[in-house]
Chains A and B, each alone.
Chain A
Amino acid sequence: MATISLKVNGTPCTVELEHDRVRLSEILRGQLGLTGAKIGCGVGKCGSCTVLVNGEPVTSCTLLARKADAAEVLTIEGLADGAVLHPIQEAFLDAGAVQCGFCTPGLIIRTYSLLRNNPGADDAQIVEMLRHHLCRCTGYLAILEAVKLSRERMAQG
């Protein structure tokens, strides 16, 4: 059985792959107990399983785990500083952007990726980013507001 080594939320780990088609999401959720990334479609269309791999947002349900060998991975579990929520997490709560919560971790991770790389992202760039995610509860209104609020707060430091 092949093994891969990766660093997840700052912690190095080595995991065995049951077969060569194992997806990163299976490793995170099944072997590492990081169930924050959700599987909504399994084909990379809904964005609920989004995590950062080497700083880039990817749908972990489509990424083969062996391709994440030696990678640094950030999941939703790694975003808050202990019990102190990240400003994006706070903004999602304040804007009322959370309903059932299934799409939320993926959305927050991608928002983090956008605003870290481009703190001054304009509204069009925000909409472009949100195209990668499906939400069936909110109608996107509050999500859009939450991302804008995140941008504002992160700019204020």
Chain B
Amino acid sequence: MTLRYVGKGVRRVDGADKVTGQAMFVSDITVPRMLHARVVRAGVPHARIISLDTTEAEGMPGVRKVVTGQGCGILFGTCLWDQPPIAVDRVRHAGEPVAVVLAMTEHQADQAARKVKVEYDPLPFQLDPVEAARPGAPLIHERNGSYRRVEYIVRSEAGTNIFHHYKLRKGDAAAGFAAADVILEEHFEFPLSSHCSLEPHGAICRFTQGGDIDMWASNQAPFVVRDVLADMFKIPVTRIRVRVPYLGGGFGGKSDVSIEPLVAYAASQVPGWAVKLVLTRKEAITSSLIGRGMMGRMKIGARKDGAFVALEAEMYFADGAYGDTSWPVVTVAGHNCTGPYEFPSCKVDSYGVYTNSPPVGAFRGYGHPEGQFMLGRMIDLLARKLGIPQGDLMRRNFLCEGRRNGLGQEIKRSHGDLFACLDKVEAAMAGTPLPPEDDRYLYGRGMAAMAKSPKMAANAASTAYLQISNDGSVFVNLAGIEMGQGCQTAFTQIAAEALKVPIERIRMYREVDTQFTPWEWQTVASMQTYRGGRAILQACEKAVELLRLNASLVFDCPVDEVEYDGDACFRKGMPANRLPVASLARGYMFGNGLTVGQPVQATGTYRVNGITEPDPETGMGNAAGSWTFGVQAADVRIEKATGRIDVLHFASCFDPGRVLNPVTIRGQVAGGVVQGLGAALMEKLEFGPDGVIRNANFGPYRIPTIDDMPGKLTIEFVETPNPEGPWSAKPIGEHPIVAVAPTILNAIGNATGTEFTRMPVRAADVLDALRRKEGV
């Protein structure tokens, strides 16, 4: 059947709002009786609060209230309840809130916040996760191990700073290494970084005097926020309303919860008033969620013919002051550090460690970039040690039909075709031969493959509501947060295709509102097109059934004799007698008013069924429900005199099952690649000797600009049919970033002969390496 919308580059449904400045973000919203919040931050990385004096601030013009943590007994979380919404008697990172000034204007709040006086008794602070994990290291949480938690999945080690330890034990790794002809081992470092979505976090919250909570939040997970607030304040979820307008980028930094508990706690102190907080860029870096922060070691054993026999890895995550948003990153980094390859035996230990930085959370790729950074570098090194071309070594070990991943799950052909991805990337690179070294430049080529499977709650589902109106237009309501990835456009395409109606007839509900939008787990893990799309498909099928049912009552015939073609229903073999969809949408009304049938509305749900958490002892199990594979390669040019690194060509090929929209998917890949270049070449949160982040704004914290774009971007796809996603479409949003860092560092290694294992690699690092080599 010819597809009208699936696979087509239809225009974004949110585009016109965004090019005209009409798109509303949280910072654009003003509500009646609204106070502006300014937060007083710790400024020291670890200390006890000796005294907190708000008297002078409270007397400043326009100030309504200064909220502190005194008397706050709340710890919030979703699986690990270790964080107060505001510091009570101790601060564990420099950006932690200690007081919130609520005033009539931002300026008044700002002026008064300067008058809050806090005295601290400093405690030793720790930023290195390996040091912090050692026995006897000063404790950041004395209660670690006794906090409320979901014990099956959060494995805290009491008396240490390790709040989560994931271990994978697949086969007998010791025997695997004993049988290896070649063993390679390296240490790696993936620094802490900031998501830098262009929109800083914001929230508005009102505790009504009737006892309800009303919130607007820049958040990817409004239902999680709702559940967390219900738990914090011990009120039913039905009395909490969370609305998400447009979201100015997320990348994981606006999931699950970040500033919402603080804003809600402040609002709870001034019932009837709304409290608005929009973070500055500095605060978004120091006081929301940050990402990555891994120090690791990987060891791979292989036979002479290139067959992998064993993998051993250790990863220590500097997860910051609180652990609820990072423990699952630790888990998935562990079980997916095997990437797109089969290792018959694995021994992996992945640790979430409390440190004195802002808490780490999801960041595009969710543990996969960290683990597969090590893996991608190791395979390049191993290929050279074995004397096997890297592509051949990859092919020798790729996951494919019948092979098993780290979790022990058997891979099927429909899961994706790494071989075809590699073929396409190799062909693209062959089209732009690498120039030989010249007086001014060195050139190098690198490559890496990736695999990602979403980490999700085992009950994670999407739910859609669909209603056909009396003019035949269709409303679809689903809580997929539009944060730039284009899910609302994909949903619209899916509904139009499934209902066989012109796309203009489909309208997604714009704002997600937990009061009106059906429940959805959250917009993370690149799952919206895939999971939300399946929910919409089911709703469409049910709606068509209802249209046919209504028509059957008019025709007075069995339902299965009624056909539907997008415009109308008709009886089989009698196409002339048509009942237009519009005439059936509210049931069918005869001339005398008699109405039969029912209004056409339907719901649909989709959950990846059969998912379980990994087994606590082996770390294996059916913990992943979908896989997307890809291969990336790059050519870099290094200027000998300066160490400057230019990416001449970056090629990517992914197997997303089906390209639903070639324009938006290209945006995801180009955007992911350039974000990955930021991680590989420039981004790192720098802490001063005082434990405070030094580069907390754009400028000092450099992210890619147009000058950092690769000279050429090749973006290709392989489309392997599968029964999983709508028209085979599978997750692709995060994937383009996963293998960028190893690809680039492999290329730099190829150019310079220096094997970098820490990021970022900046010009100065390359220059140092070149000079060291000259000196030898």
Contact = CB atoms under 8 A, between A and B. Distances in A.
A138 interface: yes
A93 B19 contact: yes
Interface in A53-73: none
A101 B246 contact: yes
Interface in B7-30: 9, 11-12, 14-25, 27-28
Nearest to A79: B20
Interface residues of B, number: 58
A35 interface: yes
A86 to B, nearest CB: 8
Contacts of A130: 705-706
A105 B713 contact: no
Contacts of A101: 14, 17-19, 23, 246, 248, 484
B706 A131 contact: yes
A36 B552 CA distance: 51
A45 interface: yes
A29 B30 CA distance: 10
Contact of B697 (A45, A135, A139): A45
Contacts of A35: 21, 24-25, 27-28
Contacts of A136: 195-198, 249, 251, 671, 675, 703
Q: How large is the interface on A (under 10, 10 to 19, 20 to 34, 35 or more residues)?
A: 35 or more
Interface string A74-103: 011101100001000100111010111111
Interface stretch (B309-317, B379-387, B611-619, B662-670): B662-670
B107 A99 contact: no
Nearest to A101: B18
Contacts of A32: none
A94 B663 CA distance: 9
A37 interface: yes
A29 B672 CA distance: 31
Interface string B369-402: 0000000000000000000000000000000000
A134 B705 contact: yes
Which of A101, A105, A130, A142 gathers most chain B CB within 10 Å?
A101
Given A43-B698, A142-B666, A100 B249 contact: yes
Nearest to A21: B107
B217 interface: no
A37 B671 CA distance: 23
Interface in A121-157: 127, 130-131, 133-144
Which of B198, B280, B672 gathers most chain A CB within 10 Å?
B198
Contacts of B21: 34-37, 75-77, 105
A73 to B, nearest CB: 13
Given A101-B17, A135-B198, A94 B11 contact: yes
Contacts of B195: 136
A41 B674 CA distance: 20
Mostly helix, strand, loop or mixed at chain A's interface?
loop
Contacts of B249: 99-100, 102, 136-137
Contacts of A45: 697-699
Given A98-B19, A101-B248, A134 B713 contact: no
Nearest to B251: A136
Nearest to A102: B248
B743 interface: no
B674 A99 contact: no
A135 B664 CA distance: 16
A93 B20 contact: no
A139 B674 contact: yes
Interface in B173-219: 195-200
A24 interface: no
A27 interface: no
B630 to A, nearest CB: 16
Nearest to A91: B19
A144 B666 CA distance: 14
B485 interface: yes
A43 B484 contact: no
Given A137-B484, A140-B706, A38 B15 contact: no
Given A76-B21, A136-B197, A140-B674, A99 B667 contact: yes
Interface in A1-59: 18-19, 22, 26, 29, 34-43, 45-46, 48
A66 to B, nearest CB: 15
B676 to A, nearest CB: 9
Across the A-B interface, give the 5 residue pairs with the lowest CB-CB distance, nearest first. Answer: A36-B21, A100-B484, A101-B18, A102-B248, A139-B674
Given A18-B105, A139-B671, 14 more contacts: A22-B107, A40-B199, A42-B280, A80-B20, A89-B19, A96-B12, A96-B663, A100-B248, A100-B484, A101-B484, A131-B705, A140-B704, A140-B709, A142-B667
26 contacts: A19-B107, A29-B28, A38-B25, A41-B697, A41-B698, A45-B699, A77-B20, A89-B19, A93-B12, A93-B15, A100-B199, A101-B19, A102-B249, A104-B18, A130-B706, A131-B705, A137-B198, A137-B484, A138-B670, A139-B704, A140-B670, A140-B674, A140-B705, A141-B666, A142-B666, A142-B670
